[in-house]
Chains A and B, each alone.
Chain A
Amino acid sequence: MTKALAGTRPVLQKSARAVPRLILYLLLFGVSFVFVYPFLYMVSRSLMTNEDLNNFMVVWLPRTLHFQNYATAAKLMNFARGFRNSLLVTLVATLGQLISCSMAGYGLARYRFRGRTLCFFVVILAMIIPTQTIIVPLYLLYAKLGWLNTFLPLIVPAFLGYGLKGALFIFIFRQFYSGLPKELEEASQIDGCGFLRTYAYIVFPVARSAYMVVLVLALVWHWSNYFEPSIFVSKADLGLLSSGLNNISNALTLSADTLETVYDINDNNALNNAVVMAGTFMTVSPLIVMFAFLQRKFIQGMERTGLTGE
């Protein structure tokens, strides 16, 4: 491995660099193969008919493109409803975390108040304690507040600096703000800006890259989150895409009669792993589209968050 790392120093002769270069590319393509494979597998499988799945001659290319799988999957997942609900929860919760976590991170990084160390300790603790440990009292609390079977348990904590991995986001923002030079803010305050205006006009524009990173992380994690929704939200009308995906694999074990009455599917061969893969692809495709747009800024932001502990 270490050999592959060699050869980037400009001082080396070109011929001496060729072999390590080659090893580097080989390794990278190897790793890329491992990363791309499941994706291609998913896409190719999702278009296969039942016969293709069972035919060992068909490895990658389906003999016919069986788009029917997508229709079946959409029906089983109730795609339109799940998409709407997931989009709502993901966008609102992400917005909430962007606001609350950046505020908390800024407060922790910039202001010396009593109890600051304690607050930071709580952030670390919240990062470490698994949700599963405290899920029962949370459930009882939300039951008492009458929030069960609404999206409130997924959204309100996000606005309060918690929610899905909220503590991690606070940590990221704190690291970023501690790395920013204080002079900019001091200058704006001397010029007569209050702390809110300083935050809005000076700090926010500079911190855009940190927001970018947290935005993408939060979008991806909220979109595929399954645990909390599966516990707090059990009403069918509020089903998210992630639980819809679960419906498909559960439907694989249902009898033909139930399938026909519940989902109006009367072809016995219609339901197979290809449908599961079609559903999986439909679930991740919005993320892939989103990522295609945000990718460049995200990676730039990642490089600038100051997570590096300089």
Chain B
Amino acid sequence: MKPKRLRMTAKRRETLIGLFFMAPFLVGTLLCFAFPTISSFLLSFGSTDTQAAGFHIQLTGLENYTRAFFSDTSFVPYLLDSIQDMLIKTPLILVFSLLIAIMLSKTMHFKGFFRVVALLPFLLGNGQVLRQMMREGIDTKILSLGDGTLISPEMLAYMGQDFFTAIDGLFSIIVTVLWSCGVQVLLFLAAIQSISPALYESAHIDGANEYEAFWKITLPMVLPVLLLNAVYTIINSFTDSTNPLLDYIKTWAVTKADHGFAAAMGWIYFLFILFFIGLVVLVIQRGIRKTQGVRR
């Protein structure tokens, strides 16, 4: 620190340097975040004039919100669909990615191969590429009873149609879930590898088996990453490019140019996301606080 040359207190200097590093972000916050967020919020309580030239909001109160819930026939079903989808998939994604990460963290043959393969969903599984693959019905094709290779057709006939569709549906969900695990596996893997092997050794000397070590060491140690992953997974599930509700909002915003209504739907959606994320953060934070005594 050289307070003499710059003639200011250390504290002021720190603030200035801090603001220097934050400068691009602060400009960005004004331009790309605060302005659009606030005006979108206002917009949700009104409507724009039909001429695109100006940005005049005519306030109409809660009309857009009541319309979304009570008059619009598609919004609520889409919303419930996305919530249901999230509720089913998020726990599965977290469990699967933790298990895969644990398996990948073991010393074994073909380690490099498995790790690269585990990253494939991350490369292929987003945006337009995933869309095209889904259009091909890839999620139902990977594991399917339909072609008769897994279980013979006679067996299938014996077990009946209901069983068949149930199993195929289950397979499809598992495949989709596995394919959504890319980033989460990476984060878990990073977390697991930073756990000191000494912890496991001492637990083992005290007579703990693998199962106990998982619950007493691995899980508490990865809880902070579990939190990050849970939040990421929820956001991802809600803002995925294949999400029909977002397409619906986009249609209203772009094609039909009813900006107020689109904004209102967007905000309702955001509140739901916030609610679920808040819930997850609360639960996991409590878990973290509980285990803190054990960890430190």
* Residue B7 CB within 8 A of the other chain: no
Contact: A245 with B132, CB < 8 Å? yes
Contact: A220 with B126, CB < 8 Å? yes
Interface mask (B211-230 → A, CB under 8 Å = 1, otherwise 0): 10010000000101100100
Bound Cα distance A146, B294 (Å)? 57
9-residue interface stretch from B34-42, B67-75, B83-91, B156-164: B34-42
Q: In the complex, how many angstroms separate the beta carbon of B230 from the nearest chain A beta carbon?
A: 13
Contact: B1 with A189, CB < 8 Å? yes
Question: Chain A binding site: helix, strand, loop or mixed by DSSP?
Answer: helix
B133 contacts which of A28, A38, A119, A144 (Cβ < 8 Å)?
A38
Bound Cα distance A32, B114 (Å)? 7
* Residue A108 CB within 8 A of the other chain: yes
Interface size class of B (residues with CB under 8 A): 35 or more
Contact: A5 with B210, CB < 8 Å? yes
Q: Which residue of A lies closest to B193 (CB)?
A: A303
Q: Which residue of B lies closest to A106 (CB)?
A: B21
Contact: A35 with B17, CB < 8 Å? no
* Residue B80 CB within 8 A of the other chain: no
* Residue A8 CB within 8 A of the other chain: yes
Interface size class of A (residues with CB under 8 A): 35 or more
9-residue interface stretch from A62-70, A109-117, A254-262, A263-271: A109-117
Contacts of B239 in A (CB 8 A): 130-132
Q: Which residue of A lies closest to B142 (CB)?
A: A37
* Residue B94 CB within 8 A of the other chain: no
Contacts of A126 in B (CB 8 A): 29, 33
Contact: B127 with A226, CB < 8 Å? yes
Contacts of B238 in A (CB 8 A): 130
Which of B18, B231, B235 has most chain A Cβ within 10 Å? B18
* Residue B28 CB within 8 A of the other chain: yes
Contact: B190 with A2, CB < 8 Å? no
Contact: B126 with A35, CB < 8 Å? no
Bound Cα distance A250, B55 (Å)? 34
Bound Cα distance A63, B246 (Å)? 41
Contact: B249 with A9, CB < 8 Å? no
Q: In the complex, how many angstroms separate the beta carbon of B54 from the nearest chain A beta carbon?
A: 9
Contact: B228 with A307, CB < 8 Å? yes
Q: In the complex, how many angstroms separate the beta carbon of A74 from the nearest chain B beta carbon?
A: 16
B190 contacts which of A6, A111, A303 (Cβ < 8 Å)?
A303
Interface mask (B122-148 → A, CB under 8 Å = 1, otherwise 0): 111011110111011010011100000
Contact: B117 with A36, CB < 8 Å? yes
Contacts of A85 in B (CB 8 A): none
- Among residues 84 to 127 in chain A, which have CB atoms less than 8 Å away from a CB atom of chain B? 99-101, 103-104, 106-108, 110-114, 116, 119, 122, 126-127
Q: In the complex, how many angstroms separate the beta carbon of B254 from the nearest chain A beta carbon?
A: 6
Contact: B209 with A161, CB < 8 Å? no
Bound Cα distance A65, B125 (Å)? 26
* Residue B93 CB within 8 A of the other chain: no
Bound Cα distance A31, B43 (Å)? 46
Contact: B190 with A108, CB < 8 Å? no
A-B pairs, top 7 by smallest CB distance, nearest first, are A160-B28, A111-B18, A309-B224, A107-B21, A224-B127, A133-B266, A161-B25
A interface residues (Cβ-Cβ under 8 A, vs B): 1-2, 4-9, 11, 21, 24-25, 27-28, 31-39, 41-42, 45, 99-101, 103-104, 106-108, 110-114, 116, 119, 122, 126-141, 143-144, 157, 159-163, 166, 168, 170, 189, 195, 217, 220-221, 224-227, 231, 242-243, 245-246, 249, 273, 276-277, 279-280, 283-284, 287-288, 291, 295, 299, 302-310
Pick 7 A–B contacts, CB within 8 A, sort by A: A130-B269, A132-B239, A137-B36, A224-B126, A291-B123, A307-B228, A308-B225
